Amino acid sequence: IKECDWSSDVCSSDLEIERRLDARQALRTENQVMLTQLHLLKQQIVSYAHDREQIDASQAHALAQRDHFLQDIHKYESLLQEKRADTVEQRFKESLDKISTVNTLLECVTRFLETTKDKGVIDELCVALTAELSEISEKLIKLKERHACQLIEDMEARKLGDLAEAMNAPEAMRLRAALQPDCPCPVCGSHEHVFVHEESAAQQLVAALRAKREATLQLTTQTGAEVITLSARESALRAEIIALDRQNDDLSTKITNAQQDFQKFLKSGCIDLAPMEIEQALEPLKKTQEGYLTAHAQLEQNFNLVKDLRGLRDKLRSSLDGINQTQTERQETLAQLRDRKSTRLNSSHIPLSRMPS
């Protein structure tokens, strides 16, 4: 019985040992898993710490850079205030307006003088053409009167020429040969027959009448051609004078407009000039323009300096805005890192009592 009890105790002891060994093995496995998790978590914590150190260093550098930018911006603001930037820009703009006004006035004066010169040339040409037209018109009147007289002479010469032709006709020669002294002529009724026995004289008279008719016709034709030529020239001169008169009217309108524009800009108040007429304004305006340009050169230097200062200041402001934006992004990144770290710690199943410090 004692031996059986002892065997039973041995079996129970073996079972207890096996159970304890299994529990120890399970605990060892659990510890191994936990150690692995702890190692990974430690690496992540180190990584988070490294990232945060980098972000903190970057933030420190950005803050230092921001302070530097703020100092530079303040310096440029002081310089702009010292240079009276607003006043410089206002004076520069006023100078530009004055120069623009003077240039406009000079343009009006130049336009007026050039147009007046062109109008003077056209006036002289109109006077010359009018004189030529008057001369041609007077000559044409006389030529037409002479042509009218020549036409009358031509009609008489034609009649006499026709009579001469009739005298040489065969029937007239037969009748002339049949004339008897103291007998009336059957054609004209005359009792005097001058050319009955003088045929050569009759032929000379016929030739003379023919020559007179041809000469009168030639002279009349020539005079008519001259009348046509002078009439055409007269019409061309009249048309040219009418065209020049229209150009003269247009130039007169331009001259008036130039005068009105000149007075309007002169009274605009942009520049300090005494009242003047446009005819005498060229030289005073040139002197005024020269003075404005000289003063504007210095104003332009100051304006460019202010412009450069504003550009540098604005560039610094832009950089400062970029730094502030970067800082905001870094703050968001830090918040994300904290959230990720907290999420990782919460997701791990390691008891806090066993976490390393």
Q: Mean pLDDT, to the nearest integer, of 59-81?
A: 75
Selection from 45-49, 82-86, 121-125, 260-264 with the highest mean pLDDT = 121-125
| CA atoms of 233 and 239, how far apart (whole Å) | 10
* DSSP label of 267: T
Spell out a b/e string for 30-41, using b for 16 or more CB atoms within 10 Å of the CB, else e: eeeeeeeebeeb
- Give per-residue pLDDT as tens, 203-262: 666 677 677 778 888 888 888 898 899 999 999 999 999 999 999 999 999 999 999 998
Mind giving me the DSSP string for 152-186? HHHHHHHHHHHHHHHHTSHHHHHHHHT--TTS--T
Distance CA 60, CA 218 (A): 120
Residues 123-167 pLDDT 10s: 999 999 999 999 999 999 998 888 888 888 778 777 766 666 665
pTM: 0.54
Check: CB of residue 80 under 8 Å from CB of residue 312: no
